[in-house]
Structure 1
Amino acid sequence: FLRAQMEPGSAVGALCAQSIGEPGTQMTLKTFHFAGVASMNITLGVPRIKEIINASKAISTPIITAQLDKDDDPDFARLVKGRIEKTLLGEISEYIEEVFLPDDCFILVKLSLERIRLLRLEVNAETVRYSICISKLRVKPGDVAVHGEAVVCVTPRENSKSSMYYVLQSLKEELPKVVVQGIPEVSRAVIHIDEQSGKEKYKLLVEGDNLRAVMATHGVKGTKTSSNNTYEVEKTLGIEAARTTIINEIQYTMVNHGMSIDRRHVMLLSDLMTYK
Structure 2
Amino acid sequence: MKKTINILKYLFLIVASFFSIFPFIWMLISMTNKSVEVTRGSFIPGTYLFENVKNLFSNNLNFASSLGNSAKIALITTVLSLIISSLAGYGFEIYRSKTRDLIFNILLLSMMVPFASLMVPLFRMFSHFKIFGLNTTASVIIPSLSTAFMIFFFRQNAKAFPKDILEAGRIDGLNELQIFIKIFVPTMKSTYAAAAIITFMSSWNNYMWPLITLQTASKRTAPLIISTMSSSYTPDYGMIMAGIVITTLPTALVFFLMQKQFVEGMLGSVKG
Say yes or no: TM over 0.5.
Answer: no
Q: TM-score, normalised by structure 2?
A: 0.25
More strand as a share of residues: 1
In terms of fraction of residues, the more helix-rich structure is: 2
